[in-house]
Amino acid sequence: MLQLPLNVQLNDSAKIDNFFIGENVQLVNKLSQLNNSKGEFLFIWGAEGVGKTHLAHACSQLISKSGKTAAYLPLNEPFISEQLLDNLESVDFVCLDGFDVVSKNASWEQAIFHLYNQLKLFERQLIIFAESSPNQIQINLDDLKSRLGAMEVYKLSGVNDSDKAGFLLNYAQSRGLEITKEVANFILARSNRELKMVKKTIKKLDQQALTHKRKITIPFVKEILGL
């Protein structure tokens, strides 16, 4: 069972299998085995746009579908309060997404410190996603800082420039689209190469291909993107 706060909805298409691995082989292999693990405490950090929330959603759904209980809390949402952490020690897997937002907040730090200790006691699993490493984040509660530093820490690397064609093809495939490598290279050579813009471009092509009942070819890309 998956526990979600009110107004939170997971992206059903977010799966570990369709995450573009790139330089994150060790981390992705670790996450793919979470449903067979016990007592894992992972701290995963990386810059904005590298796929932290994709993995947070994917891991939460993986655990839930294995028959265990999971709780996902996006800490960057204003309606999320520290009271939601109460009694989560009864949950097999807890995922806190966006830790940076609540660091240096005394009540949040105390709540996460208490949650950490309870989950450890009951041999549950905890994953924390953040933009900075435990050593870089400013945390006022020293006991919490030491707990986070004791977690298994992974840096989530972004997609390098040479892998962007592979990322584009992987993202298109996750949406059920057939795009050739030639078309992918054409898109990247003539449009914004930022990953969020690449996704936006593929979504637009997907919608237009469905509307016009056409395959995504270079002439079609030229027409839709005005190239």
pLDDT at site 12: 87
CATH class of this structure's domain 2-155:
alpha beta
pLDDT at site 218: 95
Tell me the fold of 161-225.
Answer: Helicase, Ruva Protein; domain 3 (1.10.8)
Task: Pinpoint the residues of the chain covered by CATH 3.40.50.300.
Answer: 2-155
- How many CA atoms, within 13 angstroms, populate the side-chain half-sphere of residue 12? 1
pLDDT tens digits along 34-50: 999 889 999 999 998 89
Q: Enumerate helices (H) and strands (E) in the chain, giving the number of each.
A: 8, 6
End-to-end CA distance of the chain: 47
Tell me the average pLDDT across 87-107.
94
Whether 6 has a pLDDT exceeding 80, the answer reads no
Q: Which residue has the tokens 């996603």?
A: 129
Task: Pinpoint the residues of the chain covered by CATH 1.10.8.60.
Answer: 161-225
∠ CA 154-124-45, rounded to 5°: 20
